[in-house]
Structure 1
Amino acid sequence: MARKFFVGGNFKMNGTTQAIKVIVDDLNNAQLDGSTEVIIAPPAIHLCNVLNTVKPPVQVAAQNAYFKNSGAFTGEISPEQIKDAGVPWVILGHSERRSLFGDTEEVVADKVKASLAAGLKVIACVGETLEEREAGVTNDVVQKQLGAIAKVINESDWNNIVVAYEPVWAIGTGKVATKEQAQEVHHDLRKWLSSTVSPAVGDATRIIYGGSVNAKNCGDLGAAADIDGFLVGGASLKPEFIEIARTKKN
């Protein structure tokens, strides 16, 4: 089946009010035609402002959520709060959350389950370290990460999940997986989804690539059969993000 191309921009902990206004203004003036689903994820403090100023077809995502809907969890935001604010998407399981903040596979799975239950759509991230790639266990790692999520959700929930394959060794390093390397992992993830969840889910789920994506390499990567878009980090803060969002059209 045809899977709609998907480009997400993860601003991470970057951007003043003015800097993000410039990015939003550029996107609003870019005349994106909706052929690609485009999502931007500003820091939590800017979410509502961006939501109120960005124009369709661009949508907004939170960068994280907790797995409880309320309570004494200082510094966290809940799926229900994100949904109540009108934000439709959330990024979960990013390698920085896993490595810097201790989000285990089980915690990520609980976050995904809670976010889906609140009515959010989820960009679920998986990826291996350089040591794991060199040891030849990439598929074991990413399938285990995705397997933890599959254990706690229903088949129908996959309609609201985009899987982001982000090799840790390529995030913010300037090193990019080749089209062949990325395609191989995406193909194997799709095969795993087909056999573990269902063939329909394997066919329909969008699997996007993240890891030093920029305007120069997006065309080559986007031509691979099983790469359905990108989750962009640093380049999402620059004007070239618009060119990345136009990858499929171009």
Structure 2
Amino acid sequence: MRKPIIAGNWKMNNTISQSLKLINEIKSYNLNENVEVVVCVSFTSLYEVKKELKGTNIKLGAQNMHWEDSGAYTGEISPLMLKEIGIDYCIIGHSERRQYFNETDETVNKKIKSALRHGIKPIVCVGETLEDREKAKEKEIVKEQVLKALEGINKKEEIENIVIAYEPIWAIGTGKTASSDDANEMCGFIRNTISKKYGVDISKNIRIQYGGSVKPNNIKELMDKEEIDGALVGGASLNASDFVKLINY
């Protein structure tokens, strides 16, 4: 049985003091113990938020990382730096990273391998543009992203530590949401792609989230779908009450 995972991506929001205020608000609620909860906060807030999470079941995630352990990469953050803080997850290949910061399938693959090597669980983002969908190329695009992201990763225990987040780019921050049927179909397609590459057993265990304008009024419909194992949440994760409604769907 795959454990649902609800992850909040705070993006470039919240100073340290704002992050602490939000995480303490979230902690004040009774959270569904059958859901794995992750907060992916800005680099500057990671250390302080980690201290606030002590004694809770809430997991901590970063929003990006470099694939090298160290080196002349000004402004980058290495997996060793994240590991020392004690992070559990790292978002890799978010569409905003691909769109604005030249993230490629190749760099996504390098980052996934590095994260796994250091015991950090990757949340790997894939998804098509509106133009891709209008041209009926969405499955072709997503399949290519999945296969290139996982290239050279063959150990069962590594693959099962990866979370895949299907985020149609046209639904991120736009207020538009893929229908629950469309989201379920694509998550099922991703699972089938995994099955063909790694076998049925692995595909049954890997968790696949949906992301894209997930809100309290659509979370239950999405989570009721067979292939959807959780949500990667943007804006709604910045409000404690809304985020908790997603966790306690």
Alignment of 1:110-149 (within 5 A): 110-149=110-149
Q: Which residue of 1 aligns with 2:28?
A: 29
Q: Percent identity?
A: 39
Structure 2: runs of 5+ lacking an equivalent: none
Q: Deviations over 1:143-196 (max 9, x none)?
A: 111101221212321121010000000000000000011011011111111111
Q: Which residue of 2 aligns with 1:51?
A: 50
Q: Which residue of 2 aligns with 1:4?
A: 3
Question: Aligned with 1:209: secondary structure?
Answer: strand
TM-score w.r.t. structure 1 length?
A: 0.96
- Report the more deviating stretch, 48-57 or 207-216: 48-57
Q: Which residue of 1 aligns with 2:166?
A: 165
CA contact (8 A) 1:155 1:201 kept: no
1:19 Cα deviation (Å)? 2.1
Matched, 1:223 2:240: no
Q: Deviations over 1:127-156 (max 9, x none)?
A: 000000111111111111110122121232
Q: Deviations over 1:55-111 (max 9, x none)?
A: 521110010010100011111111121112211111101000111000110110001
> Which of structure 1's runs of 4+ aligned residues deviate more than 6 A?
none
CA contact (8 A) 1:32 1:57 kept: no
Q: Deviations over 1:8-45 (max 9, x none)?
A: 00000001223212211112111224210000011000
Alignment of 1:192-207 (within 5 A): 192-207=193-208
CA RMSD of aligned residues (A): 1.0
1:118 Cα deviation (Å)? 1.1
* Amino acid aligned to 1:85: I
Structure 1: runs of 5+ lacking an equivalent: none
CA distance in 2, matches of 1:101, 1:186: 26
Q: Deviations over 1:198-245 (max 9, x none)?
A: 211111000000000011110111111100010000110012000101
TM-score w.r.t. structure 2 length?
A: 0.96
Q: Which residue of 1 aligns with 2:184?
A: 183
CA contact (8 A) 2:32 2:247 kept: no
CA distance in 2, matches of 1:26, 1:104: 36
